[in-house]
Structure 1
Amino acid sequence: MADILIIDVWADNVHKEFTRIRDVFQRYPYIAFDTEFPGFVHPSNSRAGAEIYYGHNKANVDSLKLIQVGLTFDDEFGSLPTNQYGQQIALQINLCDFDPSWDRYSMEAMNILRISGIDFEKNHTKGVTSQTLADSLASARLVSNPPVHWVTFHGTYDTAYLVKLLNSCTLLPDALSTFLSMVNRIFPNFYDAKHMVHHHYV
């Protein structure tokens, strides 16, 4: 597979990149997504019951802010959109809301993110606001649109953070059933590849 060019999205090019997305998303309606966030500040036990585990997830997502969102667009054959040079591209959207001098985080996660190349000061001063990203995803018709397929891998937290962002809310709903209704409304076609493999759907 050819190398993929990762395009960093900042406040000064977010509109340009989402204009590109609006032009191509009907040909590339499968969106793989991933998020980066500052770790976990509340204990979480995936072996607890569904309602309890959701409560653990909610406590963390409510307390923390997104740092980065990655989006990769594919067609049904796994091909990605290309730039003017024929390079396959994916987006890395850098958000500005997280301020490490004020907001909560896990030191272990922060160290890992720094090693991976995230510049927290640059994100905070030049990144995209969560509201701008939410508006851009909506205006590009990428959410609440059945022909668009959203794909993640072990994306419990990734999904929760995007639901929080797209609903412009500071807190997720208390009830798991309400949260799942929000997921179904925002992502009518949604797949978690880890869940599919675990249940032998692929």
Structure 2
Amino acid sequence: MAALRRPESKDYGIHEVWADNLETEFAAMRAAIDQYPYVSMDTEFPGIVVRPIGNFKTGSDYHFQTMRTNVDVLKIIQLGITLSDEQGNSPEVSTWQFNFAFNLSEDMYAPDSIELLRNSGIDFKRNEEEGIDVEVFGELMVTSGLVLFDHVKWVSFHS
């Protein structure tokens, strides 16, 4: 989602979400999810810092374990969620870009990934000062209506 970050993000139906507006934006998603039950997501993580060891049957197995291992040990930086209906129609505000607490002095990362994210517009000082606590996010996600319901469909991709 970093590539979508623009100063005029409201013009694109994107809401930037930080700790101070987290509950308000979850309320907006709760209000929209029944009419727009397709949830597309994208994440930004701080790169690849560990490689799995062992024997893998296929290259795909190795790549999956690399991704899983890094997701397990690293902190998420950003999560983008876009709502739509089955025909691809979206609410006026269709995308929420959640910005998580991340501290370059304390958290693990790959320097090349951080540079790429900086060049894409991520403000790591703001993430450190105003970012969302992942545990608070998790609590709100469980009660959001976006998970735990069969009619809600999730779409993801790896870029």
State the TM-score, normalized to the length of structure 1. 0.66
The residue type equivalent to 2:108 in the other structure is R
Distance, in Å, in 2 between the alignment partners of 1:12 and 1:49 is 40
Deviation readout 1:56-82 (Å, 9 max, x if unpaired): 233212221100000000011111111
Which residue of 41, 59, 67 maps to 1:33? 41
Gaps of 5+ in 2: 1-10
- Deviation of 1:153 after TM superposition, in Å, equals 1.7
Aligned to 2:105: 101
Q: 1:46 to 1:9 in 2, by over 3 A?
A: farther
Distance, in Å, in 1 between the alignment partners of 2:78 and 2:88 is 23
Mapped pair 1:19 → 2:30:
no
The residue type equivalent to 1:12 in the other structure is D
Distance, in Å, in 2 between the alignment partners of 1:109 and 1:103 is 13
CA RMSD, Structure 1 to Structure 2 (Å): 2.1
Aligned to 1:110: 114
Secondary structure, aligned partner of 1:104: coil
Deviation readout 1:77-121 (Å, 9 max, x if unpaired): 111111xxxxx431100001x211011111110000001110111
Distance, in Å, in 2 between the alignment partners of 1:114 and 1:53 is 25
Distance, in Å, in 2 between the alignment partners of 1:56 and 1:24 is 35
- Deviation of 1:4 after TM superposition, in Å, equals 2.4
Secondary structure, aligned partner of 1:12: helix
Question: Share of identical aligned residues, percent?
Answer: 38
Gaps of 5+ in 1: 83-87, 156-202
